[in-house]
Amino acid sequence: MTFFLARLLAALLFGVSSHDAAGFIAAPLILELMIAIATFIPAQRAASLDPASALPFE
């Protein structure tokens, strides 16, 4: 499946071959960085809240 997706990528993007090692390394690293940022920011905000004030009182 990866082989077919690589060929599709090569057909869609100018200057990218289906055996481009930099593309195969850069794409997952960029995605992992985006995932780390997308999870870190909300976690940081949640950690800075006081749990007693975040919960509603009954």
DSSP 14-50: TT--TT-HHHHHHHHHHHHHHHHHHHHHHHHHHHHS-
pLDDT at 58 over 70: no
pLDDT 10s digits, 1-13:
677 777 777 777 7
The per-residue pLDDT for 52 is: 79
Q: Where are the domains of the chain?
A: 19-45
Cα distance between residue 6 and residue 18, in whole Å: 5
Segment 25-53 mean pLDDT: 90
DSSP code of residue 55: S
pLDDT 10s digits, 20-37:
777 778 888 899 999 999
The per-residue pLDDT for 39 is: 96
First-residue to last-residue Cα distance in the chain: 54
Return the structure tokens found at 35: 């995932």
